[in-house]
Structure 1
Amino acid sequence: MQPLEAGEPRTIGAYRLLGRLGAGGMGRVYLARSEGGRTVAVKVVHPHFALDEQFRARFRREVEAARRVGGAWTAPVLDADPDAPVPWVATGFVAGPALGAAVAGHGPLPQHTVRTLGAGLAEALAAVHALGLVHRDVKPSNVLLTLDGPRLIDFGIARATDSTASLTTTGVSVGSPGYMAPEQIVGSGEVTGAADVFSLGAVLAYAATGTAPFPGDSSAALLYKVVHEEPELGALTGELRELVGGCLAKDPSARPAPAVLARRLAPAGAGASVAAGWLPGPLVEQVSRTAVRLLDLEPASGEDPLASGPVPFTSQALGVFGPPIDPVPATPPPMPTPPPRQAAAPADRKRGGRLSLSVTTRDESERPGGSRKVSCTVALAVAGVLAAVTVGAGVLLDLFPGGGGGPDDTAAQPPASSETGAPTDGGTGPAEVPKTFAGTWEGSITAAGLPAGTMKVTIEPGGRTGEQVGKAEQTDILGNFICEDLLTATSADARTLVVDARRGPRSKGMCSESTKGLRLELSGGTLRYVSADARAGNPVGDLTRGGR
């Protein structure tokens, strides 16, 4: 999460802003608290769209549709003002990773977890379809995992099936390649709730095997396979394979109804399966830490004169979308004091009962602020906003930077090293990078205590200090490639490889130019990724070889 910048509001409606989760082509999303202490996500649309009356009509209609969606397995729309100068919507904040990030970081889910996941999502779809709505974009990034069960989010492109007025452009498919139903792709007839069942089947196949049932290296290849080829279900066996295969039938009428699917996956109901414990241990720990850290967040101070009310069209912070850009003042200001590092939640920090998504503020001393640049390790995304309104092909906002790091992190004081990797003393030549670092390492990372997507680090064999030895590639929580860093070794020993990272040619516009003193630490079968960039939230994560 990034701090609020000058010109950004401190409140929107009745919600006090804690920070900015992210920005994208549709607008900005903020983490906020209600007067009663509930943590919410507030989305403010781009002022450009606010000038479009057709968009306002779409936004109003989709907010109304999302308000109708309720139940245990969705995130509620709590408040909205579609008629504000710049429309906004507030939804319940879900403290859990997206399914895509969970699988990328921890591997395929156990069968009982997949069955509970499928039962909860099927029950959610049954409730949605009963209202005459079709979600139209069920995919891993729109499924969040919490201690209290799965959540199906982002009804921004759901629409009433009984509507006579189309809110999407004729001939434009709404959905995500690889998870869209064949009838969505070819545009043959009306898209019904059966399309959501197909997408659910693809999601469950991905959760159980770690790979999509229709793999491909381009959108065209994915769409062709969905329409013309049978799914690849890998090691799926038994009844679960039968159920997933039934969901992925090409003929919509051959797919099971969501209620029937839910009963077969969890005869006693998804709630009973969740109550018995449904997530594997590593995910329980990740979700718990994220929820606990939310308690420590303080609302932004109200010093800014633009502290409240509707976001004005002239606000620079909301008129330009994309990565945060530090303003260039006429007189350079003094460097802000970096915020104090927080220790990761200790293992013995106990909280009774289940963690609630409605959390309250704790009194703590005010924490110093400061702008933050986006680096490869913090150009992050989250799917934790229910009503992210999308247009056309269902493009989602890039959201949710986050990640840990405490006083025990050795990145706080990186060892001195030369710019070129030449020896700093003693006259010895460049050191060879130990062979144990060579290979591809992958896993989830966090920054400032919040989920930050997936990092893949590739170290080439035979590298030496002073040379480029590999690269780091980041994928956001939505599964989108964000940044590439080229890594130059500055020091190396049997346990620790220290590198300087510079922006690679494949990086998107949101990535910064360089990061120094990034540490890669071997411990058993893991490679710990530790960034010393305090302004970026000290990103950190444990990577495993090959992502296993």
Structure 2
Amino acid sequence: MKPLTPSDPRVLGGIEILGRLGKGGMGVVYAGRTDDDSLVAVKTLHVGSLDQSDLRERFDREATALGMVQGPGVASLVESGQDDETPWLALEYVPGLDLATYLKRHDPLDAVTGMALGLVLADALTDIHTAGLLHRDLKPANVMLGPDGPKVVDFGLVAIGGAGGDLTHTNLRLGTPRFMAPEQFTAPTSVGTPADVYALGALLAYATSGQYSYEGATPDALGYAVANPDIEPNLSGVPAGLLLLVTALMAVKPQDRPNLADVRAQLTEQLAAAHMSPAAARGRLAERTYVPGTGITDEVPPTRRHAPVTRVETVPPTVGSGTGRRAGIAVRTAERLRKAYARPGAA
């Protein structure tokens, strides 16, 4: 965590801002502390980006998605101040490294740990799809390795609704090329849940082998290789116990990929053969991948050093807390998005 600059806010929506966690094209991500002493990650939308409709859309889409999906493998939404002068989202803080950083510092995952990761992520994707969403950008950098197991983060590219999503710009390619399914390159408006299944396979291949399945000097070259049935992915380093599954997950045709229920069943069976239940596998995975000393919990004492700040509620009191509060945020955001897309000339 880096110290705040003079221009950074000290409070957002009643959440005490403690320091900077990172900065991206959309805005700054801060470490925050709620008035009940919970640590959160606070994502902000830069004021200069407010007139850029694509960034605002991504920000609103993420708030909507996080308000809709629930599950132990997904970082949850805590609060939202989308209508504030500086729009912000407060998310469950997950200490630890993201999977991409972890793999840069450690050896690839062994077969059993990779199976456990696959099962946790398959469960997370099932929760996401059950909520009527597509993640569209599952990759190592969007998987946080916390003390209780991995959690999927970053719903900025999520699709809401049917195939392609009701918020998808025509022919707009969305995602991270190395983990994108062939149809995300060739037919982006018809992308469905099999694209997330493909990304799961590409992620598992990288996590267990330490190498990318396809190479390309440019996104177009990479896309050509991914979509070409005559060019097979490089899965030479994937453990034998995962090779058949990963190969199936990365099939070129969406209809040839297994569904998540089958993926979960196969991984559960393989873990059982290794005398491990799903719960035990998740615990083993967390034990092997969580790196202590890499979170703000190591820098921030558990007791507040300042008097509690007064929270400014961003959801009407009638909505309540917990699930009801997240639902209220989702409803309001979805309504804003529907109105935006109803404007003449909207994509």
Q: TM-score, normalised by structure 1?
A: 0.51
Match of 1:261 in 2: 263
C-alpha displacement of 1:191? 0.7
Residue 100 and residue 52 in structure 1: after superposition, are their counterparts in 2 closer, same or farther (change >3 A)? Answer: closer
C-alpha displacement of 1:132? 1.3
Letter in 2 for 1:219: P
Residue 9 and residue 301 in structure 1: after superposition, are their counterparts in 2 closer, same or farther (change >3 A)? Answer: farther
Higher strand share: 1
Partners of 1:198 and 1:292 lie apart in 2 by 34
Check the 8 A contact 1:183/1:191 in 2, yes or no.
Answer: yes
Match of 2:331 in 1: none
- Confirm or deny that 1:138 pairs with 2:138: yes
How is 1:149-298 mapped onto 2 (pairs within 5 angstroms)? 149-162=149-162, 166-187=166-187, 190-228=190-228, 229-267=231-269, 270-275=278-283, 277-279=284-286, 283-284=289-290, 286-287=291-292, 290=295, 293-296=298-301
User: What secondary structure does 1:222 align onto?
Assistant: helix
User: What RMSD, in angstroms, separates the aligned Cα atoms of the two structures?
Assistant: 2.8
How is 1:504-523 mapped onto 2 (pairs within 5 angstroms)? none
Match of 1:69 in 2: 69
Match of 2:47 in 1: 47
Identity value in percent? 36
User: What secondary structure does 1:178 align onto?
Assistant: helix
How is 1:380-395 mapped onto 2 (pairs within 5 angstroms)? none
Letter in 2 for 1:287: P
C-alpha displacement of 1:107? 1.6
- Confirm or deny that 1:93 pairs with 2:110: no
C-alpha displacement of 1:168? 3.8
C-alpha displacement of 1:51? 3.6
Letter in 1 for 2:234: E
Check the 8 A contact 2:150/2:286 in 1, yes or no.
Answer: no
User: What secondary structure does 1:48 align onto?
Assistant: helix
C-alpha displacement of 1:220? 2.9
Letter in 2 for 1:197: V
Residue 301 and residue 128 in structure 1: after superposition, are their counterparts in 2 closer, same or farther (change >3 A)? Answer: same
Check the 8 A contact 1:17/1:299 in 2, yes or no.
Answer: no
Partners of 1:298 and 1:11 lie apart in 2 by 18
C-alpha displacement of 1:183? 0.3
Residue 137 and residue 301 in structure 1: after superposition, are their counterparts in 2 closer, same or farther (change >3 A)? Answer: same
Residue 257 and residue 85 in structure 1: after superposition, are their counterparts in 2 closer, same or farther (change >3 A)? Answer: same
Match of 2:115 in 1: 115
User: What secondary structure does 2:292 align onto?
Assistant: helix
How is 1:286-325 mapped onto 2 (pairs within 5 angstroms)? 286-287=291-292, 290=295, 293-296=298-301
Check the 8 A contact 2:109/2:208 in 1, yes or no.
Answer: yes
Match of 1:359 in 2: none
Check the 8 A contact 1:66/1:155 in 2, yes or no.
Answer: yes
C-alpha displacement of 1:166? 4.4
How is 1:450-469 mapped onto 2 (pairs within 5 angstroms)? none
C-alpha displacement of 1:233? 0.4
Letter in 1 for 2:298: R
Partners of 1:55 and 1:47 lie apart in 2 by 11
C-alpha displacement of 1:71? 0.5
Partners of 1:107 and 1:89 lie apart in 2 by 34
> Structure 1: any 5+ residue segments left out of the alignment?
303-307, 310-548
Higher helix share: 2
> Structure 2: any 5+ residue segments left out of the alignment?
313-347
Q: TM-score, normalised by structure 2?
A: 0.79
C-alpha displacement of 1:162? 3.2
